[in-house]
Structure 1
Amino acid sequence: MHWWSSLVTISRDGLRIQRAFAAPSAIARAVLSVLLATVLGLVLDDPVAGAMASVGAFICGIGTLLSPLRHPVVNALGMAAAFSAMAVLGALVHGTTWLFLLVLAVAAFATGLWRTMGIAPGIRGCLAVIGLMITADLAPDVHGGLVIAGWIAVGTGLVVVVQLLPPYGPRFAAQRRALAVLYQSLAEASVAAGSAGLGGAAPFTAARQALDLLPQLSRPAAAAMFGLLGEAERIRRALHTVRLTVAAAGNQEALAAAAHVLGDISRTVASGREHRTPEEAWTLLESWAAVSPMRGPRDLAARLRTAEQLARRSTDDRLGDVLEPHTEVPGLYAGTPSVARTARRIRAQLHPQSPIFRHAVRLAVGVVLAEVIGRSIGGWGGLGISTHGFWVALTTMLVLFPEYGHTLARGWGRAAGAVLGGLFAWVLSLPNWTPVGLAVVAIVLAAASFVTLRTGQLMLNLWLTTWIVFLIHHVGGLPGPTAWARAADTVVGAAIAVLIFLVWPTWSTQRVPGLLAEWLRVQDRLLPELLTGYADVGATDPAAVDALRARSRQVREHLEAAVEQSHAEPAEHRGPWSSVQLEQIRTQVSTVAGCATLLGEHLPRTPQDTVPELTELVDPLHEHLTALARASAGAETVAPGALRSVFDSFTARSGLLAETPDGFGSATTSRAVLLSIATVDAVEALTATIASRHRRGRHAAA
């Protein structure tokens, strides 16, 4: 993709308006907190108190709407504490510019590292740092800054209080949402063409992370949901088996029935109320399983029955009593404490090669530079707030992302929204508002910002700019054209963010070779371990296999994200593969992962199921994957067909091809042979795509 086409695509993305909204009850709570803060200002007849409490309630309210994974009260309390503490810190360093800039740099760096936890936590960190900028820039002195910080804390406290009001919804709402999305993705994948959709790791990772956040004391009560996560993994494996080993003809109606069941499970888990699947769907599934000679349909029907029972039990008020004590529920009592896990994830990013670390450094430099530039600009000839640069700095912080596409799209969307918002705010500043009218308009504008929070940067920043400029204009007694100063600050801040990214970029395209090599190194250990397991019952270490699978999922999720982000970059010439080839790699990686899943699912359970001949493939496969990992990083070349040649010689010598369904072998042996053939085919297809980089003569630094 060239620069011009990249800019066109990103500009279109930045102006796109999405139909994505937070939960109505969450939006209503956020609006109510701003309403209470505004009423407090009217009752006290103190415009500054009302405005600052509204700002605290508004920022903290946004934090509660950003993909909450923890309980709403916990989210609100954490956001309130962070924002209020930063506001107090900003008031304390207000009088010393160099100290404020130093603290700002450290806070921005920490926020950049916090991006490790995800997009929503990263934005919450940015919102907290805004509290530091507000009091450090707007406070007349330390005492005045502490007063402002106090009213901000009151506003954030109101957000915490309104989270305690009904309606409360089902228990473990965030975990239910993640599991519902997971089962819905399985429902869609079960009727999709091919099996590529079954390889998506993101829904499983999101559900696992949501459940991992539950404290140990709450986990027994969530036993059914932990069981649903385990069953989702088994259902995916059963669907893989069905698609690979069962003829496609006549299966579509049965798979559609399975999708119906999975959809009903998703709705049951999400709502906490049972959604029954019609008996016709179950009859069709069980009839299909009864007549099939293969184990896949029987496993799928049994797993769906278990998942349905767990979903029904998850609606029980006494969740902790719904499972038998001996029931095995993965992750129920295991897991690292949340604080230790967070520290470990952040510690893993503390090296110069990490894109998150480079983003953190870039964010610290960019925010400080934007603050200095904002203060140097002054008041735009009397239209703005003289010697205050926080609006430029906060725009830079909210625009600058680790990815090129997100950074440019957010910069363009926020700038366009700020200009439109400035125009609207200027129109609203023309009438002479009464205090009550001012309060009503401010609440309406805040509500519009909450509603459009997830619809895109254009709509969000339009209402956000209108609200904040309207508030500052009437509280601070500034001239009407102040709206244009805020719009100009936004444009400058967005331009600074984009320029800094282009000066020191982190291209996702250039991350793909390293991530692919890392994933292949995991497969280099996983696939030989699984093939060794066919030598004898129990020859494979289940704990080692589970650890390798977990690592494979993590790396594959990062790889898929990097491939997705690379499509927006004008840096295709910098990478070893084209966009089409990157999509092929993503699909082929998913296929290899599916083969590994099936090899593990069908490990021998009795001595009659063993296929010791397959262990001869361990060394050739290990050597091939080792060389392929080096080739993906640009260190050497691997010719396609080498592994296929070894496999053909092996099958000809061992006579295993006669064990396929066309031959005379047992069902278990033929299934193992089919899985090994599919694995070799998948690895060879990936080898051919990786080798295309060398035929094009493109080498990327490892």
Structure 2
Amino acid sequence: MPWLAALRHTGRAGLHLERAVGDPVRAARGAGAVALVVFPVLALLGPVQATSAAMGAFIAGTATFQRSFRPRRSLAVAAGIGLGVSTFLGYLAVGVPGLFPVLLAAWCFAAGLAWALGPTAGVVAANTVTVMLVVVQLPVSVPTALGHALLCTLGGVVQALVITVFPVKAWGAQRDALADAYAELADYARRLRHDPYAIIDPAPLMTARHAAALTPWQERRRPPELHGLRGIAERIRPTLAAIADPELGAAAEGPERDRARELLAGAAQLLDALARAIRGGDPVAYPKSAPAALAGPVGTVLHGPALRAARRLTTLLSRAADSLDQSGEDTLSTPIPGSGGALVRPGLARMVPVALRTARRQLHGGSPVLHHAVRLSGVVTAAYLLARLTGLHHSYWAAMTAAMVIRPDFGQTFSRGVARVAGTVVGVVLATVVVELAHPGTWASCVLAVVCIGGAYLTLRTGYALATTCISAYVVFLLGIDQGHAVQTAYERILMTLLGGAVALVGYALFPTWETARLPERTAEWITAVGRYAAAVLAGYGDPAGRDPRAVRRALLDLRETRSAFLQARERAEAEPVSHAVHSPQLSRKQLNRAREAVGHLSRVSLLMEAHLPGREAEPVPGAAEFGELLAEATAAAGAAVLAGTPVDFRRVRAAQQAWEEAEALATDQELVLSHHRPGAQQEVVRGGMRLLVTALGELERALRKPKGPVPAGSAPNSSAPAGSAPRSSARQA
């Protein structure tokens, strides 16, 4: 995308407003907590101290609105502590000539590394930089620095107390995440009725997994209905695909396909009912037609793998409904004993060493987080020093703007830059007009500041430009309690905002982190991960008695993470003003899209085979585990070939699959009539799965083939495919 087109696209994205607002009750609660801090401090200590307390309460409240599954009170306390430390150190450094820019650069570097912990930590850390810049401008002596730091921390503590005393939709984030997963499964079941190769978005399942990680405090208080349902959802997903698939499930046409559609329709209704019950904490209520469809005589119509998948689906749905029906009366506060399989999230105190280890792992040249930390430190410090040269009293707004604008990727940085400038200009102008016309006193200014805080909390989901308007007006009213010349102050703030935004955008352009250059790496990781997942599934057929269920689970989670990283990098790359051919010479855009479809097909086939994994008492399928190991090695080599820009080669896998089929056919011909316990059903699944896997590998070869130039010696013809492989129509993306 050319630079002008990229700037136009990101500018429009920054100014776009969603037709959505936050929870008014939560917004009022957050603003009320700020009021509980500001007005008493203003009455007892004065406007300077009230400003510090208000800043701490506001930023701590903002932290609780971030997308996080930690207890909101812990987010508020952590933000308050961070604000107190940054303010105290800032006060100590500002009195020593030349020391504050050094501290600012070091603190910004640490704030940039905080993105390794996730977006919530990164945003909160960036907010501590802005508060440091604002509060240290207030006239105060060094001995009282500790008092101002404690007031900032007090704001976070009060927010935590208000959240504890007045909870709003307790466990709402976890409920919504789990309900979204079941709603996505319901939509997936409906789409499978008409398209047996339909894809599912794994993002809701990934989010539900993140939501299921609990701190010790949460584990003791988790609602019973949130226990175990996520695991059931994970098992429902492959079962739905196994019923609909024409090769390894119901027949493509005829009564069996009609019965499969009925089952999928009934499952969709049940899954929707489960999603509604989980989201609201209510009993399960669903149409009577759904249980009738699932309880019908499946055995008289469905056969083989489709019958086994249908029975497993009805069992899983019944288990999920029973899990909700048997939950306790008090679903919000009933403590339950922790289970050994619970996902553990460190508490607030234990997060410090975890954060240090995570940040230390980012200290290498190829880390995008390290690049962002260096860029944030340099941009904010440069904006601060340049603004100081102007001699304006409100020069700190430049560095504050730069800290809030800069983000790890191009799209967010430039869209936020436009939104920040536009929102700041509008907010400062409107607030200044109110100050000039109404001349509010100290207490009235505090009231207006609290109102603006409520507006900012309410519009966080609407768009960054509108939220910035409210925040800018809040800062104007808050700092206006110490009377000054309003028009001159507004002029300086707007000018410094423009300077800070320009420095941030230019800084990113000079020291960018292009996701386009990382697309081959993300593609290679995805290819390697899907090979490990397929190998783990095949190992379950090769040794049912000794298989480790956690191995398949770990491989699936790794596959989801790599797929998500690939899609995120691809989305960000689409908005970057760089040449794909220059920054990603290993893969063209066409190759990238075709490779994505082929890897998606590999994922889907592996998922279908996982749905039919045999029990521990089943007979092993000879050669399945060995084929899986070979497949894992071949996909790892293919990932390395993508990074090196060389053709991939799956000849060994094709040869192994053909040899396995010949050996299996020979063994079948030599066998006499065996008992009904003969493991032919599992062999049938493995045989069909191997054929589909090899077909998908052939597609991946064709996708990664260079469009021009001779093929290097030793590489296989990419167009070859094994005899008897599945038809091309089955190679759609999973």
TM-score range, shorter chain: 0.7 to 0.9
Task: After TM superposition, give the deviation of residue 15 of structure 1 in Å.
Answer: 1.1
What amino acid does structure 1 have at the position aligned with 2:317?
Answer: L
- Say if 1:147 and 1:185 are closer, same or farther in 2 by CA, change over 3 A: same
Is 1:484 matched up with 2:491?
yes
Task: After TM superposition, give the deviation of residue 115 of structure 1 in Å.
Answer: 0.8
Counterpart Cα distance in 1 of 2:45 and 2:222: 48
Counterpart Cα distance in 2 of 1:224 and 1:163: 23
- Say if 1:366 and 1:639 are closer, same or farther in 2 by CA, change over 3 A: same
Counterpart Cα distance in 1 of 2:203 and 2:187: 14
Partner-residue secondary structure (3-state), 1:633? helix
Counterpart Cα distance in 1 of 2:28 and 2:683: 60
Partner-residue secondary structure (3-state), 2:534? helix
Contact 1:135 1:149 in 2 (8 A): no
Match of 2:603 in 1: 593
- Say if 1:215 and 1:222 are closer, same or farther in 2 by CA, change over 3 A: farther
Contact 1:187 1:263 in 2 (8 A): yes
Match of 2:475 in 1: 468
What amino acid does structure 1 have at the position aligned with 2:696?
Answer: A
Partner-residue secondary structure (3-state), 2:228? helix
Match of 1:691 in 2: 705
Task: After TM superposition, give the deviation of residue 20 of structure 1 in Å.
Answer: 4.0
Is 1:246 matched up with 2:242?
no
Stretch of structure 1 that moved more, 451-460 or 622-631: 622-631
Counterpart Cα distance in 2 of 1:354 and 1:196: 37
Match of 2:569 in 1: 562
Q: Which string of whole-angstrom CA distances, capped at 9 and with x for unpartnered residues, describes residues 6-36 of structure 1? A: 2222122111112344333321211112333
Partner-residue secondary structure (3-state), 1:121? helix
Contact 2:432 2:490 in 1 (8 A): yes
Match of 1:397 in 2: 403
Stretch of structure 1 that moved more, 86-95 or 222-231: 222-231
What amino acid does structure 2 have at the position aligned with 1:559?
Answer: F
Task: After TM superposition, give the deviation of residue 524 of structure 1 in Å.
Answer: 4.0
Counterpart Cα distance in 2 of 1:624 and 1:308: 42
Counterpart Cα distance in 1 of 2:431 and 2:160: 30
Match of 2:377 in 1: 364
Task: After TM superposition, give the deviation of residue 616 of structure 1 in Å.
Answer: 6.2
Match of 1:205 in 2: 206
What amino acid does structure 1 have at the position aligned with 2:683?
Answer: T
- Say if 1:274 and 1:674 are closer, same or farther in 2 by CA, change over 3 A: same
Task: After TM superposition, give the deviation of residue 235 of structure 1 in Å.
Answer: 1.0
Q: How does 1:257-272 map to 2 (within 5 A)?
A: 257-272=266-281
Stretch of structure 1 that moved more, 506-515 or 208-217: 208-217
Q: How does 1:252-651 map to 2 (within 5 A)?
A: 252-287=261-296, 289-290=298-299, 291-293=301-303, 294=306, 295-314=308-327, 316-317=329-330, 331-332=341-342, 339=351, 342-379=355-392, 385=393, 388-389=395-396, 391-435=397-441, 436-571=443-578, 572-573=580-581, 574-575=583-584, 576-579=586-589, 581-605=591-615, 610-614=620-624, 617-618=627-628, 621-638=631-648, 647=657, 651=661
Number of residue pairs the alignment of both structures matches: 682
Partner-residue secondary structure (3-state), 1:255? helix
Contact 2:446 2:477 in 1 (8 A): no
Counterpart Cα distance in 2 of 1:484 and 1:164: 42
Match of 2:47 in 1: 47
Counterpart Cα distance in 2 of 1:77 and 1:357: 26
Contact 1:66 1:120 in 2 (8 A): yes
Counterpart Cα distance in 1 of 2:654 and 2:342: 43
Task: After TM superposition, give the deviation of residue 302 of structure 1 in Å.
Answer: 1.5
Counterpart Cα distance in 1 of 2:703 and 2:317: 37
Task: After TM superposition, give the deviation of residue 353 of structure 1 in Å.
Answer: 0.8
Task: After TM superposition, give the deviation of residue 411 of structure 1 in Å.
Answer: 1.0
What amino acid does structure 2 have at the position aligned with 1:257?
Answer: G
- Say if 1:615 and 1:443 are closer, same or farther in 2 by CA, change over 3 A: closer
What amino acid does structure 1 have at the position aligned with 2:699?
Answer: A
Task: After TM superposition, give the deviation of residue 458 of structure 1 in Å.
Answer: 1.3
Q: Which string of whole-angstrom CA distances, capped at 9 and with x for unpartnered residues, describes residues 496-536 of structure 1? A: 22222221211112112112223333344443343344334
Match of 1:218 in 2: 219
Q: Which string of whole-angstrom CA distances, capped at 9 and with x for unpartnered residues, describes residues 282-331 of structure 1? A: 211232745432222222222122122223445643799999x9xx9672
Contact 1:617 1:647 in 2 (8 A): yes
Q: How does 1:181-192 map to 2 (within 5 A)?
A: 181-192=180-191
Q: Which string of whole-angstrom CA distances, capped at 9 and with x for unpartnered residues, describes residues 96-127 of structure 1? A: 24332222222212221211222122101111
Task: After TM superposition, give the deviation of residue 451 of structure 1 in Å.
Answer: 1.0
Contact 1:403 1:507 in 2 (8 A): yes
Counterpart Cα distance in 2 of 1:477 and 1:257: 68
What amino acid does structure 2 have at the position aligned with 1:603?
Answer: L
Counterpart Cα distance in 1 of 2:494 and 2:231: 50
Task: After TM superposition, give the deviation of residue 581 of structure 1 in Å.
Answer: 4.7
Counterpart Cα distance in 2 of 1:195 and 1:320: 42
- Say if 1:486 and 1:331 are closer, same or farther in 2 by CA, change over 3 A: farther
Counterpart Cα distance in 2 of 1:608 and 1:213: 36
- Say if 1:49 and 1:615 are closer, same or farther in 2 by CA, change over 3 A: closer
Contact 1:589 1:686 in 2 (8 A): yes
Counterpart Cα distance in 1 of 2:92 and 2:466: 35
Match of 2:108 in 1: 108
What amino acid does structure 1 have at the position aligned with 2:513?
Answer: T
Match of 1:8 in 2: 8
**Structure 1 runs not aligned, ≥5 long:** 380-384, 698-702
Q: TM-score, normalised by structure 2?
A: 0.84
Task: After TM superposition, give the deviation of residue 567 of structure 1 in Å.
Answer: 1.5
- Say if 1:330 and 1:586 are closer, same or farther in 2 by CA, change over 3 A: farther
What amino acid does structure 2 have at the position aligned with 1:287?
Answer: G
**Structure 2 runs not aligned, ≥5 long:** 670-677, 712-734
Counterpart Cα distance in 2 of 1:167 and 1:318: 14
- Say if 1:300 and 1:652 are closer, same or farther in 2 by CA, change over 3 A: same
Task: After TM superposition, give the deviation of residue 199 of structure 1 in Å.
Answer: 4.9
Stretch of structure 1 that moved more, 113-122 or 35-44: 35-44
Q: Which string of whole-angstrom CA distances, capped at 9 and with x for unpartnered residues, describes residues 57-108 of structure 1? A: 2222111111232222222222222212222222222212433222222221
- Say if 1:86 and 1:594 are closer, same or farther in 2 by CA, change over 3 A: same
Counterpart Cα distance in 2 of 1:84 and 1:407: 27
Task: After TM superposition, give the deviation of residue 646 of structure 1 in Å.
Answer: 6.0
Counterpart Cα distance in 2 of 1:300 and 1:402: 43
What amino acid does structure 1 have at the position aligned with 2:694?
Answer: V
Q: TM-score, normalised by structure 1?
A: 0.87
Q: How does 1:164-183 map to 2 (within 5 A)?
A: 164-170=164-170, 172-183=171-182
Counterpart Cα distance in 2 of 1:275 and 1:633: 50
Counterpart Cα distance in 1 of 2:84 and 2:66: 18
What amino acid does structure 1 have at the position aligned with 2:316?
Answer: R
Task: After TM superposition, give the deviation of residue 234 of structure 1 in Å.
Answer: 0.4
Partner-residue secondary structure (3-state), 1:138? coil
Q: How does 1:63-212 map to 2 (within 5 A)?
A: 63-143=63-143, 145-170=145-170, 172-192=171-191, 194=195, 199-212=200-213
Is 1:673 matched up with 2:687?
yes
Task: After TM superposition, give the deviation of residue 349 of structure 1 in Å.
Answer: 2.2
* Paired-residue identity, %: 29
What amino acid does structure 1 have at the position aligned with 2:182?
Answer: Y
- Say if 1:561 and 1:658 are closer, same or farther in 2 by CA, change over 3 A: farther
Counterpart Cα distance in 2 of 1:589 and 1:474: 60
Contact 2:129 2:403 in 1 (8 A): no
- Say if 1:173 and 1:694 are closer, same or farther in 2 by CA, change over 3 A: farther
